[in-house]
Chain A
Amino acid sequence: MSRFLYFLIFTNMMAIITTPIPRILLVQSADGAIGSMIIGTLAGVLFTYITVKFFAQFPGMDLIDLLQTYTSSWVRIPITIYFTIFWFIAGLITLVMTVFLLITFLTPEMSIYIITLSILITVFFGVLLKSKSVLFTLEIVFILMIPVGLLMFFKLYSAPEVEWDQARLAIMHINQVPKYGSIVATIFVFLGCSNLIIFNRYFKEKQKVSLLSLGAITLFGVVMLVTSYFIPIGLSGFDRIGQLIFPWTSSADAVRMKFGLIERVVFIFMFIFVTIAFVSIIIHWHISYKLILSIFRLKALQVKQQNFTPFLVVTVFLLIGLWITALLTQYELYQYTRYYYYTIPLFIAVFFLTMMAIKRGASK
C-alpha cells in the first residue's frame, strides 16, 4: 500500500480526539462501549479491506471518473451529492469541535468568530490545493507530528496519574450488550480509506493489501481507541467520566511535565490534535469540493480563462462553517453528531452499491 494511504487512514484515526467520538464512547462506558468498539473495529477493518481492494482494480481513477465512465448520470448525480454532503459534514464536525475545544481551553476570551476565522483562512487555501499537494501537505504535517506524538504516547502511558485500576474496572463491563451508537462511532474511526474516492487518482500503481498492512491499520486504530477511551477513564475515574463535556482533554490536563518548558502537557497534545484537525478538515472538504465541482460549474463565473466556481464553492463552505459554529451549542453538537454517525450504515450501503454498479458497468 502507498504510504499516503496510511497517512489518510491514520489521520482520520488521530482526528477522532477533535470529534465527539470519545465522548460518545465514554458516555456509554458502563453500557457496552467495549463490545461496541470491538465490533466496530472488526467492521471498520473489513470496510478498509474491501474499499482498498476495490480501488486497487482501477489504479489512477477516482470515483468521479469511474461514475462518469461506467454509470449513467441519474445514478451519478444523486450519489455525488450525497457524498458531498457526507464529507462536508465530517469536516464540519471536526471544525466545530476544534473551535469549541480552543475556546474552552486555550483562548476563552476571544470571539468565536475570530477563532473560527483563524482556522478557516488556512483551510480556504488548503481546500483549493491540487489533490496531489493535499497529499504532500498531509505527509509533511504527519511527519512533523511524529516526534510530538511519540512524546505524547510516552507521557500518557508512563504518567503516574493514570489509575490503571479504573481502566480494569472499565474492562469489567465487556459483557454488556453493544450499542448501535457506539458501534457506528467506532466504524467512523476506520473510514479514512474511503478518502480514496478522490485520492485514488494519484495511486497509479496497484495497491496490494497485505495482512501486515491490515495489521498495522488495526493496531493503530486500536491504539487510538484505547488512548481516547481508557486514558480518560484512568485519569478521571470510571464512575463520573460520562459527565465531562471534553472528557479526553480535561482528563489529559492532569498529566504534568515537571521539568519541561511547557508544564501542562495537554497543550502539546492540543497542538498535535489541532494540527491534525486542520489537515482532516482540509482533506474532508477537499473531497467534498472536488465532488461538487464534478457536477456543477457555473458559466457565469467564467472570466477569461479562469473559472471562479471553485472559489465560490469554498467560500460557501466557509460561510456555512462559520454560521454553524456560531449557531451550535455544545449539547446540540453532540446530539447532531450522533445522528450523523447513525447514518453511517446507510453511507456504507450506498458506498458498496456504488461499487457494485461500477463493477457491473466495468464488466460490460
Chain B
Amino acid sequence: MTESKKPEMPPFMKSISEALPSSFDVLHVPLTLDDAHVHLLYMKTVVDGLTLQQSIIKPFYELDDERKFGAYIQGLPNRLDPPQPDELLIMLTSGFVLVYADSTYSILEIRKLGNTLQGPTISETTIHGPQLSLSEDLETNVSIVRQHYHQPNLYVETHQLNDKSNMSIALLYDEKEVNVDVLRRVKEKLDGLDEPLIQSAGELAVRLTSRRFTLFPTSILTERPDRIVYNLTGGKIILLVDNSPYAIVLPVIFFDFMVSMEENYHTYVISLYNTLLGWFGLLNCLLLPSLYVAFTAYSPEVLSSELTLTMAGSRIGVPYPSFIEVIIMLFFVELLTEASVRLPRSINAAATTVGGLILGTAATEASLASNVLIMIIAIVAISTFVIPMNELGFAVRIVRLLIILFTTLFGLIGLISGLLLLIVHLTNMDSFGEPYLRIGWRGKRSEKMVNSE
C-alpha cells in the first residue's frame, strides 16, 4: 500500500496520533476492503500482535461489512469507551488499541503480557510448601492469588500510581476480615504518594511508610503465594505491583517476621521447635557479640570461673580491647555475607568458604582475634540466616551494632538498657495505625483482626 492511497485518518485519531512521539513502534494501520474503512492506532511493542491479528484484523476481512464489524467490536469483552485524551495516551502506552470503526471510537485492551513465568522461590524457600513464586505480571499474579483463594469476598481493586512509571497496582483484601481503618489509611497513603518514580514493590513499600528514617520494615515483602493467602485470611491487605515478583503485606506486627511458611506444613511439635529455633537465632544474632564484650571487658565474674578462664586464655596475645576485636571481626563477616549475595551463584560458595576459613584461622594465628570470638562470629553469621524474613535480618544486623555500642559504653547494664531501648522503640512504632510490637493472644476475638499470624 503506497502513501497516496492511504485513507485519511479520522480527526480525533489524528490529534491523538500527533500527541504521540514519532517513534518506530507507534503504528497507524488502516484496514480497507471495498468501501469499508477501519483505523487502528497502537504501539507495536506493548500490544500482542497475534491476538490483534486473531481478534481484530481477521474478523474484519471475514465479515466484509463495516457495520457488522462495528457491532462485532462493540461486543468484545475487552472494549472500553475512549476516555479523556491524557488518559488515553497513557493507556496506549500500556497496551491498548484505539479502533475507529463504523464512525465510533473504541479502545481495546490487547496487552502483551509481561513476564508471566513463575520462577522458583528464592528468598523464602521451604521444603514442603509451594515451590513457585509470583510472576512479574500483575494480572497473572492476581490470577495466582485467586487460584489459591477461592472466595467471593476477595476484593481486588486496581490503582494507578501517578508517577512517571504509571504502574498499575492491585489492592487485594478479604472483605469480611479486613480492618476498615487500615484499609482507609492505606488508600490515603496511596493517593498521597508524591514520588517521581516508583519501580518495584520494595520501593513502594518504603514510600508508604510515613517516617523517613526507619530501621524496621513496616510491611512484609513476600514472593510466596501461600504467604499471601495466609495473610489474606488474617485480614491483611496485599499490594501487588506490576512488573514486580514481590507482594507487599500490610499491616504487620513484629511477630509476622518470625513466621516461616514451613511451619504450617509440619506437625505441631516440629513447627514449635522450628519457631523456637528462629527466636533463638534472633537472640543469638542480637546478643552474642555484646555478651562477649560485656563478659570479657566488664563483668568476667558473672560467668562460672572455668568459662571465664577459658575465655581469658583464648584472648592471650590479643593486643586491643574486646570491643575493637568484635567490631573488626563482625565487619569482616558482614563483608563476606554481602559478597556472597553479590557473587555469581557458581563461585560464591567457594569464595565465602575460603574467605571465612582462611580469615578465621589466620586471625587467631596472628592473635588478632580470640578463638572464642571466631566461634561466636560464626554462630552469629549462621543465626542471621535462621531469621525467616530477610528484611528483619538486615534490621537486626544494624541493631546489633547499636547494642554493641551500648555494651561498650556501659557494660552488662548497657546491654540490658540497649535491649530495653529496642523493645521501647518497637512498641512505639506502628504499621498503618496498628501497634508494631505487642503480644496478640489468639483466644481473644477483639485482638484477632491483625494478629492471626
- Chain A residues within 8 Å of B, Cβ to Cβ: 102, 106-107, 110, 114-115, 117-119, 121-122, 125-126, 129-130, 132-134, 136-137, 139-141, 143, 260-264, 267, 271, 274-275, 278-279, 282
Contact = CB atoms under 8 A, between A and B. Distances in A.
Contacts of A125: 421, 424-425, 428
Given A114-B410, A118-B417, A133-B428, 13 more contacts: A107-B298, A107-B413, A110-B410, A118-B406, A118-B410, A118-B414, A122-B417, A129-B424, A136-B435, A139-B438, A143-B439, A261-B307, A267-B302
Nearest to A260: B304
A139 B301 CA distance: 31
Nearest to B414: A118
B413 A106 contact: yes
Interface in B279-338: 298-299, 301-305, 307
Contacts of A264: 301-302
B413 A140 contact: no
B438 A140 contact: yes
B412 A107 contact: yes
Contacts of A132: 435
User: 3 closest pairs, A vs B, by CB?
Assistant: A118-B410, A263-B304, A136-B427
Instruction: Name A's interface SS.
Output: helix
Contacts of A102: 413
Given A114-B410, A261-B307, A275 B428 contact: no
A274 B412 CA distance: 11
Contacts of B427: 129, 133-134, 136-137, 140
Contacts of A129: 424, 427-428
Contacts of A261: 303-304, 307
Nearest to B305: A263
Contacts of A126: 420, 424
9 contacts: A106-B411, A107-B413, A117-B410, A118-B406, A118-B413, A132-B435, A262-B302, A264-B301, A274-B416
B310 to A, nearest CB: 11
Interface string B400-423: 000000100111111011101101
Contacts of A263: 303-305
Interface string B42-53: 000000000000
Contacts of A107: 298-299, 411-413
A291 B305 CA distance: 49
A7 to B, nearest CB: 11
Contacts of B439: 136, 139-140, 143
Given A107-B299, A132-B435, A261-B304, A141 B417 contact: no
Contacts of A117: 410
B304 A118 contact: no
B411 A110 contact: yes
Nearest to B301: A264
A353 to B, nearest CB: 35
B420 A275 contact: yes
Contacts of A130: 428
Contacts of B299: 106-107
B62 to A, nearest CB: 68
B437 interface: yes
Contact of A136 (B301, B303, B406, B438): B438
A9 B351 CA distance: 56
A296 to B, nearest CB: 24
A139 B426 CA distance: 13
Q: Report which residue of B305, B413, B414 has the largest number of chain A beta carbons within 10 angstroms of its beta carbon.
A: B413
A271 B416 CA distance: 8
Given A130-B428, A132-B435, A137 B423 contact: yes
Contacts of A115: 410, 413
B278 to A, nearest CB: 16
Contact of B423 (A110, A140, A271): A140
Contacts of B406: 118
A140 B413 CA distance: 19
A79 B423 CA distance: 33
Contacts of B305: 263
Contacts of B298: 107
Contacts of A274: 413, 416
Contact of B421 (A122, A133, A271): A122
Given A114-B410, A121-B421, A137-B424, A275 B302 contact: no
Contact of A118 (B301, B409, B435, B437): B409
A73 B420 CA distance: 38
Contacts of B303: 261-263
Given A133-B428, A262-B303, A119 B413 contact: yes
Contacts of B301: 264
B435 A133 contact: yes
A102 B413 CA distance: 8
A181 B216 CA distance: 49
Nearest to A257: B304
A126 B299 CA distance: 26
A203 to B, nearest CB: 13
Nearest to A110: B411
Interface string B186-218: 000000000000000000000000000000000
A122 B424 contact: yes
A125 B421 CA distance: 7
Contacts of A114: 409-410
Contacts of A134: 427
A89 to B, nearest CB: 22
